[in-house]
Amino acid sequence: MAKKLFWLFVLVGVCFGAAGAALTACFIWQGVSSPWLPLLAGAVLLLALFIEAKRLSAWLLSPLVDMAKDLDELEKNAPYPELLPFIETLRRQQVQKDENLRQRQEFSANVSHELKTPLTSISGYAEMIETGIAKDEDVKEFAGKIHAEAGRLIDLIRDIIKLSELDEAEPGEEMQPLDLLPIAQDTAGMLAFNAEKAGVDISVSGCYAQVLGRRELLEELIYNLCDNAIRYNRPGGFVRVSVSEDAAGVTLAVADNGIGIPPEHQERIFERFYRADKSRSKASGGTGLGLAIVKHIVIQHGAELQLASAEGEGTTISVVFPPVA
């Protein structure tokens, strides 16, 4: 392509030179001929240049038009080597677009399923109470199940709304310097009862370190990580939350000695509604959106997400925040 452009510019220069010479000759000849001749000659030359420019443009762009007819074979059909970086960018964007489409389709299907399940239970128990099928002594139990399923629906809708808000928010929006350790201590305190109920010890340690963030999002981040660590743990297990700082930034780590994550699931656990252990997820509750929310909050804060896990030994999820300027 570079060579073609070079010769195209040379040709255009020659044409303009010829046009200039012709017009000069016409002006010299003007004294012995009609005064309209220079204007007519100039118009003819401009028309010729326009036609030639259009033809050369079509000649230069025709390979690109042919390449666009088969987007699946862009690399093979690339007419100019200089276009390969551009084609690679297009390829990555197309792959990302297809992946986003797949995730949206999966998300829609999963939302429908997750909403249908508790609504079916609520409808069934309510109908049994309404029609009198349920005995008087069963009404309290059924009401409790309706209440539990309604709570599950509320949690699910709350998480869906939170994800929608995070999708629409601009990274770095409304950020301010915050001490991460007190936020971690307060958030872990909210989960102390749940941890005690599950027979899991939860603790927070580390140093005072500032990050640029939004408090409510940081609380949501820590809450979801700790809640997950408690749910997928064992009686007698622990959840250790730590805050540290070095030249690379501030690191928040949530470590547990729970069931761990099999290697084949580790790349997907931050996807929406993805559950590595579906049977345990149903027993322990949860919406399946907690880690997806964590991922979005990490992106909002310009941080880096790290995962280390071994099946049967436990999991450590770390979030590395950039240094506060």
CATH code of the domain containing 250: 3.30.565.10
Same domain, 130 and 99: yes
Average pLDDT over residues 262-290: 72
Q: Measure the CA–CA gap between 209 and 243, rounded to whole angstroms.
A: 7
CATH number at residue 140: 1.10.287.130
Q: Does residue 190 sit in the same domain as residue 313?
A: yes
Q: How far apart are CA 14 and CA 242, in angstroms?
A: 72
Q: Which of 112, 144, 168 represents a domain boundary (last residue)?
A: 168
**For the chain, how many structural domains are there in total?**
3
Instruction: Read off the pLDDT of each residue in 187-195 and give the average, rounded to a whole number.
Output: 93
Residue 32 has pLDDT above 50, yes or no: no
Pick 38 or 54 by higher pLDDT: 54
> What integer pLDDT is reported at residue 88 of this predicted model?
75
Say how far apart CA 294 and CA 271 lie, in whole Å: 10
Measured between alpha carbons, how far is 217 from 101 in angstroms, rounded to an integer?
26
Residue 19 lies in a domain: yes
* Half-sphere exposure in the Cβ direction for 313 (13 Å, CA): 7
Residues 306 and 185 in one domain: yes
State which of 168, 203, 236 marks the end of a domain.
Answer: 168
| 250: Cβ contacts below 8 Å, ≥ 6 apart | 180, 209, 210, 211, 243, 244, 320, 321, 323
Q: What percent of the chain has pLDDT over 90?
A: 31
* Mean pLDDT of the 41-50 span: 68
Lowest mean pLDDT of 28-42, 216-230, 264-278, 306-320, name the range: 28-42
* pLDDT at residue 49 in the model: 67
Are 316 and 183 in the same domain? yes
pLDDT of residue 72: 65
Q: What is the pLDDT of residue 314?
A: 92
- Structural domain includes residue 74: no
For residue 242, report the phi and psi dihedrals to the nearest 5 degrees.
-135, 150
**Where does a domain end: 116, 150, 168?**
168
Q: What is the mean predicted confidence (pLDDT) over 286-296?
A: 84
Residue 219, both tokens: 């609380």
Would residue 299 count as lying in a domain? yes
**Is 80 exceeded by the pLDDT of residue 60?**
no
Q: For the purposes of burial, counting CB atoms within 10 Å of the CB of 68, is it exposed (0-12), middle (13-18) or buried (19 or more)?
A: exposed
Q: Is residue 79 part of a domain?
A: no
Query: Is the domain of 163 the same as that of 191?
Result: no
Cα separation, 172 vs 2, in Å, equals 41
List, in order, residues 6 or more apart from 142 with CB less than 8 Å away: 125, 128, 129, 134
- Residues 151 and 214 occupy one common structural domain: no
Rg (CA), the chain: 33
The pLDDT assigned to 69 comes to 65
Please give the order of strands across the beta sheet that includes 314-321: 201-206, 238-246, 249-256, 314-321, 304-310
Write down the pLDDT at residue 153: 85
**Residues 223, 307 share a domain:** yes
Residue 118 has pLDDT above 90, yes or no: no
Q: Is 8 inside any structural domain? A: yes
Quick check: 270 and 225 in contact, CB under 8 A?
no
Inform me whether the pLDDT recorded for 119 exceeds 50.
Answer: yes
Looking at 60-69, 89-98, 166-175, which range is the least confident one? Answer: 60-69
Tell me which residue range forms the domain holding 43.
2-69
The mean pLDDT of 100-113, rounded to a whole number, is 72
Is residue 34 very low, low, confident or very high in pLDDT (cuts 50, 70, 90)? Answer: low
Say if residue 166's pLDDT is above 50.
Answer: yes
DSSP 267: T
Determine the average pLDDT of the residues in 69-82: 64
Of 186-190, 204-208, 232-236, 286-290, the poorest mean pLDDT is in 286-290
Residues 5-28 have a mean pLDDT of 62
Instruction: Specify whether 65 is located in the same domain as 98.
Output: no
Place of tokens 């509750």: 285
| Predicted confidence (pLDDT) at residue 230 exceeds the cutoff of 70 | yes
Whether residue 123 is found in the same domain as residue 250: no
Confidence band, pLDDT 50/70/90 cuts, at residue 307: very high
What is the rounded CA–CA span in Å between residue 222 and residue 319?
A: 10
45 plus 135 within the same structural domain:
no
Is residue 77 domain-resident? no
Q: Is residue 21 part of a domain?
A: yes
Q: Which residue has the tokens 């960018």?
A: 89
Same domain, 209 and 307: yes
Calculate mean pLDDT across residues 196-210.
Answer: 94
Q: Would you say residue 133 has pLDDT above 60?
A: yes
Residue 81 falls inside a structural domain: no
125 and 57 share one domain: no
Specify the pLDDT at position 224. Answer: 93
* Cα(260)–Cα(276) distance, integer angstroms: 10
**pLDDT value for 154:** 86
One-letter amino acid of 178? L
Residue-wise pLDDT tens digits, 233-273: 999 999 999 999 998 899 999 999 999 988 888 888 888 77
